[in-house]
Amino acid sequence: MPGARSKSRKRKKKLLSEADLLELGRQHFAKDFPNPSRQGCPPRIALQLLAEDPHKADNSVLNHVSSCSPCYRDYSHFLQARKRKLRSKSTKNE
Protein backbone atom coordinates (compact mmCIF):
# COMPACT_ATOMS: atom_id res chain seq x y z
CA MET A 1 0.00 0.00 0.00
CA PRO A 2 1.27 3.46 -0.73
CA GLY A 3 2.31 5.33 2.38
CA ALA A 4 2.26 2.21 4.53
CA ARG A 5 5.22 1.64 6.71
CA SER A 6 7.34 -1.31 5.96
CA LYS A 7 8.74 -3.38 8.76
CA SER A 8 11.78 -1.70 10.15
CA ARG A 9 14.89 -3.66 9.62
CA LYS A 10 17.10 -4.08 12.59
CA ARG A 11 20.56 -2.92 11.81
CA LYS A 12 23.40 -4.89 13.18
CA LYS A 13 25.70 -2.49 14.96
CA LYS A 14 29.36 -3.11 14.56
CA LEU A 15 31.06 -3.21 17.95
CA LEU A 16 34.15 -1.10 18.34
CA SER A 17 37.34 -2.85 19.25
CA GLU A 18 39.21 -1.66 22.32
CA ALA A 19 41.82 -0.03 20.09
CA ASP A 20 39.12 1.78 18.08
CA LEU A 21 37.45 2.99 21.25
CA LEU A 22 40.73 4.29 22.66
CA GLU A 23 41.49 6.08 19.39
CA LEU A 24 38.04 7.64 19.39
CA GLY A 25 38.69 8.94 22.91
CA ARG A 26 42.09 10.32 21.92
CA GLN A 27 40.59 12.14 18.97
CA HIS A 28 37.81 13.53 21.15
CA PHE A 29 40.19 14.99 23.72
CA ALA A 30 42.59 16.21 21.03
CA LYS A 31 39.99 18.12 19.00
CA ASP A 32 36.72 18.75 20.80
CA PHE A 33 37.93 21.17 23.50
CA PRO A 34 39.56 24.09 21.65
CA ASN A 35 41.26 26.75 23.69
CA PRO A 36 43.02 28.96 21.13
CA SER A 37 43.95 31.62 23.66
CA ARG A 38 45.29 28.91 26.02
CA GLN A 39 43.32 30.46 28.87
CA GLY A 40 43.93 28.81 32.24
CA CYS A 41 46.59 26.46 30.89
CA PRO A 42 49.27 25.16 33.26
CA PRO A 43 52.94 25.60 32.38
CA ARG A 44 54.38 23.03 29.96
CA ILE A 45 56.62 21.70 32.74
CA ALA A 46 53.47 20.71 34.67
CA LEU A 47 52.21 18.77 31.62
CA GLN A 48 55.60 17.09 31.31
CA LEU A 49 55.53 16.10 35.00
CA LEU A 50 52.05 14.61 34.52
CA ALA A 51 53.41 12.46 31.69
CA GLU A 52 56.64 11.45 33.39
CA ASP A 53 55.56 11.03 37.01
CA PRO A 54 51.77 11.29 37.38
CA HIS A 55 51.86 10.62 41.15
CA LYS A 56 53.81 13.85 41.67
CA ALA A 57 51.59 15.93 39.37
CA ASP A 58 48.85 18.16 40.66
CA ASN A 59 45.32 16.81 40.10
CA SER A 60 44.26 20.17 38.69
CA VAL A 61 46.62 19.60 35.74
CA LEU A 62 44.94 16.29 34.93
CA ASN A 63 41.52 17.93 35.21
CA HIS A 64 42.63 20.71 32.88
CA VAL A 65 44.05 18.28 30.32
CA SER A 66 40.69 16.54 30.15
CA SER A 67 38.99 19.76 29.02
CA CYS A 68 41.65 21.54 26.93
CA SER A 69 42.65 20.04 23.59
CA PRO A 70 45.92 21.99 23.18
CA CYS A 71 47.12 20.83 26.61
CA TYR A 72 45.94 17.28 25.92
CA ARG A 73 47.99 17.26 22.71
CA ASP A 74 51.07 18.62 24.53
CA TYR A 75 50.62 16.05 27.30
CA SER A 76 50.26 13.29 24.69
CA HIS A 77 53.53 14.34 23.05
CA PHE A 78 55.33 14.25 26.41
CA LEU A 79 53.79 10.84 27.14
CA GLN A 80 54.89 9.42 23.77
CA ALA A 81 58.42 10.75 24.33
CA ARG A 82 58.45 9.07 27.75
CA LYS A 83 57.33 5.76 26.24
CA ARG A 84 60.02 5.95 23.53
CA LYS A 85 62.65 6.69 26.18
CA LEU A 86 61.56 3.71 28.29
CA ARG A 87 61.54 1.39 25.25
CA SER A 88 64.99 2.61 24.29
CA LYS A 89 66.33 1.89 27.78
CA SER A 90 64.81 -1.59 27.84
CA THR A 91 66.35 -2.55 24.50
CA LYS A 92 69.77 -1.32 25.65
CA ASN A 93 69.55 -3.50 28.76
CA GLU A 94 68.76 -6.67 26.83
CB 55 within 8 A of CB 21: no
Q: How many domains is the chain built from?
A: 1
Distance CA 45, CA 38 (A): 15
Task: Note whether residue 3 is domain-resident.
Answer: no
19 falls within a domain: no
Decide if 83 is inside a domain: yes
Q: What pLDDT does residue 50 have?
A: 96
Closest CA to 37 of 77, 68, 74: 68
- Domain of 76? 26-88
* Euclidean distance between CA atoms 86 and 20, whole angstroms: 25
pLDDT in tens, 6-22: 555 666 777 888 998 89
Which stretches in the chain have pLDDT values below 50? Answer: none
Q: Which residues contact 54 (CB under 8 A, 6 or more apart)?
A: 62
With respect to residue 35, please indicate whether it lies within any of the assigned structural domains. yes
Q: Minimal CA–CA distance to 39: which of 77, 66, 62, 70? A: 70
Does some domain include residue 11?
no
Instruction: Indicate whether 32 belongs to any domain.
Output: yes
**Does residue 37 fall inside a structural domain?**
yes
Domain assignment of residue 62, yes or no: yes
